[in-house]
Chain A
């Protein structure tokens, strides 16, 4: 139970972040980059008011998708997040957990090392926009296989756990990109669960 709680804390609390390096490979840049980006000016501070209220925070279990180490598809891992109601808060927690990386041996990180979430918002039309740091593009345009798994790890993790999110737009460093190498990024992407399950 302890590691799980730690994961939640990492996703949520800036003060705790120094304890959030990955067990197998510590990545100080990741940790260092996170506090600034998590506290980006436009990001509301959903956790601050809540922690002031003394009510115990309810937990919700979510399913994250990571590229599988041995196969061509995504593999699922569960996490607990704070059961916040705002779709953007849930989305931000999910992406934060995704950026932390997988816990099982059979899964690989979904994004290049050092990638942080700058901001995430959800519009009423069901489109969510996740704005990542420039590191997301590291190694882009090498092979479409890894590109596809990165995109659908993000899109499927968000759409499968936040019912208000129907498509996900991926932004980089605050800007819309035409492509992620091969794939179109100029439109929000609907989920494709064929990448999450064996055919």
Chain B
């Protein structure tokens, strides 16, 4: 038997029916996007097809497989549970929100990606059910960096250093809450604004938080404020382009990595980048309100409120996105406060609490 193995192996590609050993298949699910995604990772190639049935999607394979885990249940309106059936099938039990199924294959390793399209009654994009395995990704963006120092306080405190410091503190706190955190920069370097947003999109982040410190010629200016995007598009423009968007493009944060197929044209991509945040404004404003409330409670500094402005870094984000101006380092007293570790912890802790309140929402 052992000597036959190379021959058998070659043979199993395409027709595994004669292979004696079941092929291990890892099952992973992801409900963080608009669709529910199931990824089957095969130790060896097996031909499998998805067949729709009442209340089920059956993944039928040509050869024996060993699913890991053998069963699973989800808190999701599109996919309720999955389980192995016999040694050649996996049955996905769909929920009331289920509408249709798409599949595609990926190589190295061999994967079958099953996207279950549908709707969830609650705001899925804003508050995804916490997935069982994959932790939600939150991207934190420390403003400025490198030669681009940002604001500089009267005693020399630089915005770029303080934003990174606060971002690292916030990262530690969010990780303790169970999130996966990506910093757009974790060193002192220049990073273009669009790249920062792209990092959030590529990581399929559920939240994008840009941290800044303010400055003004008015030395009396003091306090914290939280922004979400003020869009430059009129409602009519947004509607027109939303039509295009639905046809040509799926926001990467909401669903998938760019699926095989034709990418949108450069021009379209640019328009979409500019309008990407438009569909998340309600969620973004909620996050901004939560952050601003916590910041006020924690720090007691002057409440400058939640505001909207056309911040470039928020425009292309395909997830709820905010920009926090944590305080004015042009104001000597406020600058002094930001040199204190306890105060910085307090600010980071306030933001982390706000994030927890948003992500914990059912």
Contact = CB atoms under 8 A, between A and B. Distances in A.
A188 to B, nearest CB: 7
Given A70-B220, A183-B310, A189-B310, A142 B150 contact: yes
Q: Interface SS of chain A: helix, strand, loop or mixed?
A: loop
A192 B234 contact: no
A143 B330 contact: yes
Contacts of B325: 143-145
B166 to A, nearest CB: 16
B221 A184 contact: no
Interface string A44-70: 000000000000000000000001011
B43 interface: no
B155 interface: no
A125 to B, nearest CB: 10
Contact of A144 (B214, B234, B308): B214
Q: Interface SS of chain B: helix, strand, loop or mixed?
A: mixed
B148 interface: yes
Nearest to A70: B220
A137 interface: no
Nearest to B148: A141
Nearest to B210: A182
A143 B310 CA distance: 14
Interface stretch (B81-89, B173-181, B283-291, B311-319): B311-319
A196 to B, nearest CB: 13
A27 to B, nearest CB: 16
Interface in B284-334: 304-305, 307-313, 315, 323, 325, 328, 330
Contact of B307 (A67, A141, A186, A194): A194
A167 interface: yes
A143 to B, nearest CB: 3
Given A184-B232, A189-B232, A145 B215 contact: yes
Contacts of A141: 148, 150
Given A143-B330, A167-B232, A190-B234, A184 B315 contact: yes
B171 interface: no
A162 interface: no
Contact of A146 (B148, B213, B216, B315): B216
Interface residues of B, number: 33
B170 to A, nearest CB: 19
B217 interface: yes
A184 B310 contact: yes
Contact of A184 (B218, B308, B312): B312
Given A72-B221, A199-B305, A144 B232 contact: no
Given A141-B150, A182-B313, A184-B315, A146 B232 contact: no
A179 B193 contact: yes
Contacts of B328: 143, 145
A182 B124 CA distance: 30
A139 to B, nearest CB: 8
B212 interface: yes
B151 interface: yes
Nearest to A126: B234
B274 interface: yes
- Interface range on chain A (Cβ under 8 Å from partner): 20 to 34
Residue of A145, A146, A167, A189 contacting most chain B CB atoms (<10 Å): A145
A148 B309 contact: yes
A144 B212 contact: yes
Nearest to B227: A144
A86 interface: no
A83 interface: no
A72 B217 CA distance: 11
A176 interface: no
B217 A146 contact: yes
Contacts of B152: 142
Contacts of A72: 221, 304
A184 B215 contact: no
Contacts of A108: 217-218
A187 interface: yes
B151 A142 contact: yes
Interface string A119-156: 00000000000000000000001111110100000000
A77 interface: no
Contacts of A184: 232, 310-312, 315
21 contacts: A108-B218, A142-B152, A142-B330, A143-B151, A143-B213, A143-B325, A144-B311, A145-B214, A145-B215, A146-B216, A146-B217, A148-B309, A167-B232, A178-B312, A182-B323, A183-B309, A184-B312, A186-B274, A187-B232, A188-B232, A199-B305
A-B pairs with the 10 shortest C-beta distances? A143-B215, A187-B232, A184-B312, A143-B214, A184-B310, A145-B216, A179-B312, A142-B215, A143-B151, A145-B214
